[in-house]
Amino acid sequence: MPDSVAIRPARAEDDEAIDSVIRAAFGASEYGHRGEAELVRILAADDDVMVSLVAERDGAIAGNVLFSRMDIEADGAPLAGAGLAPISVMPGLQGQGIGDALIRGGLAVLREQGAAISFVLGHESYYPRFGYSPELAARFASPFAGPHFMAMMLDSNAAWPLGGRADYASAFGRLG
């Protein structure tokens, strides 16, 4: 990542800039923008945001990652966990490690918060480098089950639950 980029927690005054980064990043992607900016606003209104970090470059927001609260049951007991979504880096600044730094920074904050597990729905060639595994996620019943659904224990020494259920925050179900 360039030295000129710093990762820090998002603040209320970053909201508009984060919105713009999300629209630019997803708008330029193969997926297109499918309501990710609205998702972030609903998650915040619902108080379901666990971690939101920004990458700042020359006083401008270059990227954002958000982790939201999930409702998870593992081996019959509740497990504290968060879903990674969305992540976005300004199109002109992608491929320089900013996304990597945002994700690693977010996972570190989640560990500090005592979360045990994180899920992501995304590209199989990107997220395994952080520790996300489709095999772990496959143990959890979810409407998103499939090869793009991955999970990681935030303590890499923790035993994998044998089975359970993982539900994203309600904002995900309310997206069109």
Applying CB under 6 A, the residues found at the interface with ligand COA are 25-26, 29, 31, 87-89, 94-100, 122-123, 125-126
Sequence length of the chain is 176
Task: Work out how close the CB of 56 gets to ligand COA at its nearest, in angstroms, rounded to a whole number.
Answer: 14
Cα 101 to the center of its chain, rounded Å: 12
- Its sign, for the CA torsion 50, 83, 43, 92, is positive
CA separation for the pair 102, 66 (Å, rounded): 9
Task: Work out how close the CB of 29 gets to ligand COA at its nearest, in angstroms, rounded to a whole number.
Answer: 4
Task: Work out how close the CB of 40 gets to ligand COA at its nearest, in angstroms, rounded to a whole number.
Answer: 13
Task: Work out how close the CB of 15 gets to ligand COA at its nearest, in angstroms, rounded to a whole number.
Answer: 18
Task: Work out how close the CB of 77 gets to ligand COA at its nearest, in angstroms, rounded to a whole number.
Answer: 29
